[in-house]
Amino acid sequence: MYANPKTLLWLLPFLLVICVGCQRSKAGITVAGSTSVEPFAELLAEEYMLLHPHSHIYVQGGGSTAGIEAVMTRAANVGMSSRNLIGDEKKLYSVTIARDAIVIIVNPKNPVQDISLDQIRHIFSGKIRSWKELGGASHPIVLVTREEGSGTREAFQKFVMGKEDISLEALVQDSNGAVRQVVASNRNGIGYISLGLVNDQVTALKISGVEPNLTDIENGKYTLVRPFLFVFNEEPAGEAKSFLEFVLSPLAQKLLSKEGLVPVLPKIAQKISFKSPHPPFAKGGNDIPLRHLFPVKDRQRGTKADFHGSCLHTEVPCFGTQAWVTNPSQKIAIE
């Protein structure tokens, strides 16, 4: 007896939903939240999946508050937060995976290189409106800030602004990468982002003569430092526990240190030499992992998706979210 073709067509969408749902439930875990933590979590997920080829870690942003709420409602297995937990959030199980510095960035063409906390506060509250007041050119200051609910904004409010509000004239962006892009394209712009995302497109200002580097962060001279948290509904188990154990391992902590974060295992992380595991699909000793081609600070929003299929129109073969180059024409230094 044959089924009616019309009946099969009617059932097809429901069968697809069921199949996709089953596949997703077996695929792995979802990590969601802070856009500051997101690029580093993606990097860690890539490394983890190389060591565990049958595992899948899905990383997505949305902000610290959104990630915490996703864990509370069990929409995500792991939440990412770039701020400490508050109120009822403290009932959740949280682990500090690294520490990060918030840095004040300007356009490289801006002559201002050093600034005080009071001046930063006056700039973002709208009291200082021209770069001339800071020894720069006679141009209006363009403020760039993060959105409400952002862990980076909440930390900036706590460390810098205190009880003063950020000016309503500030341009609001929904990620650190977006803040960096606006400042990089506007010579009068000023914003704040994660130290690990600073690249040559922007300049990180000294604060009262103190540079935002790992040495001054560790010795306590640079004080705009916040935790990067992984948040769970309860003590993690299964794949989530395995991923957390990897993130806290010397190997992963060394990788975070190389990306500009302060590891939670500083002594161990600084002592070991970083060695990348060879992936199961690599074909030879000249294969170079994606992270060495595109470190976190140089990745833009959407880069990972761009590697599916076209691989940015290069000769890079694609393997899901992993990309490797065989016999590259130019030399790429790997530490």
pLDDT in tens, the chain (335 residues): 444 554 344 434 433 333 434 444 445 899 999 998 999 999 999 999 999 999 999 999 999 999 999 999 999 999 999 999 999 999 999 999 999 999 999 999 999 999 999 999 999 999 999 999 999 999 999 999 999 988 899 999 999 999 999 999 999 999 999 999 999 999 999 999 999 889 999 999 999 999 999 889 988 999 999 999 999 999 999 999 999 999 999 999 999 988 889 998 755 444 444 344 433 333 333 333 444 444 555 554 433 333 322 223 222 332 333 333 323 333 323 22
Output the pLDDT for position 279: 39
Chain region(s) in the chain for CATH 3.40.190.10: 101-226
**Minimal CA–CA distance to 119: which of 110, 111, 129?**
129
Output the pLDDT for position 335: 29
What are the residues whose beta carbons fall under 8 Å from the beta carbon of 265, sequence distance 6 or more?
248, 250, 253
Output the pLDDT for position 260: 86
Pairing of strands 189-194, 262-263: unpaired
Cut 0.85: pTM above it: no
Burial environment of residue 295 by CB neighbours within 10 A (0 to 12, 13 to 18, 19 or more) = middle
Angle at which helices 250-258 and 38-51 cross, to 10°: 140
Output the pLDDT for position 28: 87
Output the pLDDT for position 54: 92
Output the pLDDT for position 295: 55
**Minimal CA–CA distance to 39: which of 311, 299, 305?**
299
Output the pLDDT for position 266: 54
Output the pLDDT for position 209: 96
* Topology (CATH) of 101-226: D-Maltodextrin-Binding Protein; domain 2 (3.40.190)
Output the pLDDT for position 126: 97
Output the pLDDT for position 56: 95
